[in-house]
Chains A and B, each alone.
Chain A
Amino acid sequence: SQQGEEDPQALSIQEGENATMNCSYKTSINNLQWYRQNSGRGLVHLILIRSNEREKHSGRLRVTLDTSKKSSSLLITASRAADTASYFCAPSGSRLTFGEGTQLTVNP
């Protein structure tokens, strides 16, 4: 089962700015999921995008998927301090595997 690789490893922005995180993977997928993990907590599912979808929105989240480039991006608009967390992508497979994530810090 493959894992995604998130980029950048760390991102620090000011409240109100947009945050973009990228994910690359190696083999074809049926879907790709994004999760958030606050410090000391479990992972929380954010959004799932299927391989036949190019873009999906959920509140302040926008996810894109480019299967030809085997990449996905997660955009958080109008960021808040509460968005500070690690973000993981998980390309579908028989098991969900995770990379090392992007640590996002939103400064008030």
Chain B
Amino acid sequence: GAGVSQSPRYKVAKRGQDVALRCDPISGHVSLFWYQQALGQGPEFLTYFQNEAQLDKSGLPSDRFFAERPEGSVSTLKIQRTQQEDSAVYLCASSPRRRGITNTGELFFGEGSRLTVL
């Protein structure tokens, strides 16, 4: 498709289970972002990739969160030993431009993966 694709759209996990969320960005987009959005809140930045390089992971809430983009296209966000507070929508966004030091261009978002941890 022409847009950012995320899978699964919905995931229910038992507490302690590991989950993997996939993002297919728009073809050729250099930059890829992951955000976490709790119910009723705005998206919170998690991590940023420029091609395959993870240049910023300062928003990852704990070492249970891990993201990769090994070939500079598809990205996976992995959450180990899920906790109830991890329940949220995880949004992926891509951009054709490199992220600047003081500037970020338009982001193209996927529909998100809604994670519910029981």
Contact = CB atoms under 8 A, between A and B. Distances in A.
Given A42-B109, A100-B42, A92 B56 contact: no
Given A42-B4, A42-B91, A43-B43, A94 B106 contact: no
Contact of B99 (A41, A43, A44, A94): A94
A25 interface: no
Contacts of A77: none
Interface string A25-52: 0000011010100001111110010000
**Interface of A: prevailing SS:** loop
In this complex, which of B43, B107, B108 has the most chain A Cβ atoms within 10 angstroms of its Cβ? B43
Contacts of A92: 102-104
Contacts of A31: 103
Contact of B110 (A42, A98, A100): A42
Give the interface SS of chain B, mostly helix, strand, loop or mixed: loop
Interface string A44-86: 1100100000000000000000000000000000000000000
Given A42-B110, A43-B91, A30 B102 contact: yes
A17 B44 CA distance: 32
Given A1-B45, A98-B42, A43 B104 contact: no
A101 B38 CA distance: 13
Among A40, A43, A45, find the residue whose CB has the most chain B CB atoms closer than 10 A: A43
A100 B41 CA distance: 5
Interface string A11-33: 00000000000000000001101
B106 A95 contact: no
B4 A30 contact: no
Contacts of B111: 40-42
Nearest to B42: A98
